[in-house]
Amino acid sequence: MVVIRCTRRVLARLPASAASGDLKSSTLLGDWYADFLSVGRLRLVLVVSQPSLLSLVVPARDLKNLAAHIRSSLQLLLSSLGVPPDVVARELHEMDEVAYAPTASRVVLGCMLDLGFQARLRLESGLPSSLNELALELSRNILSPLGSQHPRDVALGLLSDPRTPIQ
């Protein structure tokens, strides 16, 4: 099961109701946080893995299928990062069951503000040719909660050891 922790704005627009209680994801990349990201006329959702701060950017249309958009974007990103297909398949299989919940970490929300700013700058400059390329660029940023590591390196470390505890 994957828990997608949404800001109030996203939760208000989702057709599914938010789960209550202390839910935890069974995925190696942990809970995912989601918030809207607007760039000009583009309406997007920025999605960030809690333990790795690996980021995805998906279209905001069709929010009822947000989990499916996250899964397909994650599959493309992990493949682009060179994650073995069997590991990608295992992570995506764990994401078959989805629960939506409110946010729980101010650290992740703070990182999302920074990542959203960086994503806006890149999209406004026209540099990334696709949302996956944008996610690849964001995965190379150093964010203070990770010390001197890049989100992609933390994610690859989590995915390389199936015994890694979920945070």
The pLDDT value recorded for residue 16 is 79
Domain-embedded: residue 162: no
Domain-embedded: residue 21: yes
Domain-embedded: residue 160: no
Domain of residue 26, residue span: 2-149
pLDDT in tens, 87-123: 999 999 999 999 999 999 999 999 999 999 999 999 9
| 167: pLDDT strictly greater than 70 | no
The pLDDT value recorded for residue 133 is 96
State percent of the chain over pLDDT 90: 83
Domain-embedded: residue 155: no
SS3 61: coil
The pLDDT value recorded for residue 164 is 46
Q: How many other C-beta atoms can be found within 10 angstroms of the C-beta atom of residue 60?
A: 19
Domain-embedded: residue 127: yes
The pLDDT value recorded for residue 163 is 53
C-alpha separations of 3 from 42, 86, 114, 120, 123 in Å: 26, 22, 22, 26, 28
C-alpha separations of 149 from 40, 117, 145 in Å: 31, 20, 9
| 162: pLDDT strictly greater than 90 | no
| 66: pLDDT strictly greater than 50 | yes
Query: Residue 131 sits in a domain of what CATH number?
Result: 3.30.420
The pLDDT value recorded for residue 166 is 41
Using 50, 70 and 90 to split pLDDT, how confident is the model at 128?
confident
The pLDDT value recorded for residue 21 is 65
pTM equals 0.93
Q: Say how many domains are in the chain.
A: 1
Domain-embedded: residue 165: no
